[in-house]
Structure 1
Amino acid sequence: MRKTRTQLQKAMAELMAQKNVQDITVQELTRLADINRGTFYRHYRDIYDLLEQTEQGLIAEFNTLLDAYTNEELQRGLRPILSDVFYFARKNAAVCEALLNIHADQRFFQRLSSLIYERCVGEWRGLYAIDFMERGNYELEFVVAGAVSLIRTWTARGFDRSPEEMAELADRLIRNGLIEMKA
């Protein structure tokens, strides 16, 4: 099942780089993945089911990555978690490129942004002593959207920098922005 899923996800990502998801057929997907259509339907109802399960799997894996960090670790700095986030994106390059593609359905971008937002609002409030609610959450919305857009741009540019370089850039942008908000 894992090999089949990987082949289908890879083929789906390749097709999504060329066309909108609604224009992808099971026939062309299975042909590209070298999978029997019956095998596809044994695991998925349709293209959208494959896409949904792919998104859910990626979000669950991303959540696990975030869960690995305690508040105490985050208080020492964001660079380690940011580095892991960029390594995660590169490890899942094909799927991230397809799901974060500027022409793709923005649902995954929104889901990822919401997850980061929910996770960060409490942790960053403690780290930076900022009451985001009092400020209307504009700053946090900006930081989260910027962080996800940074990942999107990096994937679109073919991972032209190392995960460490991207983590350093994101860390600097986040810290400088949040520190400025305290003033």
Structure 2
Amino acid sequence: MERETTDKRTEKTKASILQALISLSKKKEINEISIRELTEAAHIHRNTFYLHYTDVYSVLSEIEENMCRDIKHMAEKYTPDELRDHVGDVTAEAFRYLYEQRESCILLLRARSMVSSGKNLLESIFERYLTAYPKSFDRNSLEFQVQFQYCTAGALGIVRYWFEQDFTQSPERMAALTGQLLIKGIQGATQVS
């Protein structure tokens, strides 16, 4: 019972820190936020902060790690063949998750480059997706690497555009468009209604 209480207290403390960081990041750049400001906004003592994190960037790293883990778990619910054949379902689930976590996503975008944050998230899905293809498929080939980078960068661009447009489109709409682009390229995207 004591362990459960400690875990809930830790979760509550980390949630307070995250909300304070989100709030402060709307007023100033991440590198301008001091630990003092952050702990005051979170209503915790500095020592409590240092029990969990070393600095503001370690908070961001944990957010990114948690999001990557969550996205990876989404992809792992599907067999590689299901993932290949139903990439739209996984894409829709991922976009709904990103929408639910939009404040954390925006925080990461403000603090890190889109490539470093988003690439890890997308690779969590793409790596699982790729296991559906024959082992004879040369993943180290120039052709594969270029296609992988193109798809990753394209999907990241869509996510960034969606964020910049204040999520005006539904996660399902964005997922459908992204899925069509990944599967059929530009010609497929123009066929989405």
Q: Is the 8 A contact 1:12 1:29 kept in 2?
A: yes
Letter in 1 for 2:153: A
Does residue 39 of structure 1 match 2:39?
A: no
In 1, Cα distance between the equivalents of 2:118 and 2:101? 15
Alpha-carbon distance between aligned partners in 2 of 1:163 and 1:66, rounded to the nearest angstrom: 17
Per-residue displacement from partner, 1:101-138 (whole Å, max 9, x unpaired)?
4xx32232343344445334444x45xx9766251521
C-alpha distance in structure 2 between counterparts of 1:100 and 1:116, whole Å = 19
Cα distance change, pair 148–119 in 1 and its aligned pair in 2 (3 A): farther
Q: Scaled by the length of structure 1, what TM-score is found?
A: 0.81
**Is the contact between residue 22 and residue 103 of structure 2 (CA under 8 Å) also seen in structure 1?**
yes
Instruction: Please report how far the alpha carbon of residue 83 of structure 1 lies from its aligned counterpart in structure 2 after TM superposition.
Output: 0.7
1:144 to 2:145 alignment? no
Between the two proteins, what is the percent identity of the paired residues?
28
Output the CA distance in 1 between the equivalents of 2:56 and 2:142: 43
Tell me the residue number matched to 1:57.
Answer: 66
- Asked whether 1:105 is paired with 2:112, we answer yes
SS in 2 for 1:137: helix
**Match for residue 168 of structure 2?**
160
Number of aligned residue pairs: 175
CA distance in 2, matches of 1:83, 1:22: 33
Offset at residue 73 of structure 1 (A): 1.6
**C-alpha separation in 1, matches of 2:60 and 2:126:** 23
Q: Which runs of 5+ in 2 are unaligned?
A: 1-9, 189-193
Q: Structure 1 residue 44: deviation in Å?
A: 1.5
Does residue 95 (structure 1) correspond to residue 109 (structure 2)? The answer is no
CA contact (8 A) 2:138 2:144 kept: no
Shift of 1:179: 9.2
| 1:133-164 deviation per Cα after TM superposition (whole angstroms, max 9, x unaligned) | 25152122111111122122212322111111
* Matches of 1:15 and 1:145, distance apart in 2: 29
Tell me the CA shift for residue 98 of structure 1: 1.0
Of stretches 90-99 and 30-39 in structure 1, the one that deviates more from structure 2 is 30-39
Cα distance in 2 for residues equivalent to 1:178 and 1:137 = 19
How far, CA to CA, are the matches of 1:130 and 1:17 in structure 2? 46
Q: 1:19 and 1:67 mapped to 2: Cα distance?
A: 38
Secondary structure of residue in 2 paired with 1:35:
coil
Shift of 1:36: 2.6
Which residue pairs with 1:84 in the alignment? 93
Look up the SS of the partner of 1:161 in the other structure: coil
- Asked if the contact 1:14/1:98 (under 8 Å) is kept, the reply is no
Show structure 1 runs of 5+ residues with no match: none
Root-mean-square deviation over aligned CA pairs: 2.7
Q: Radius of gyration: which is bigger?
A: 2
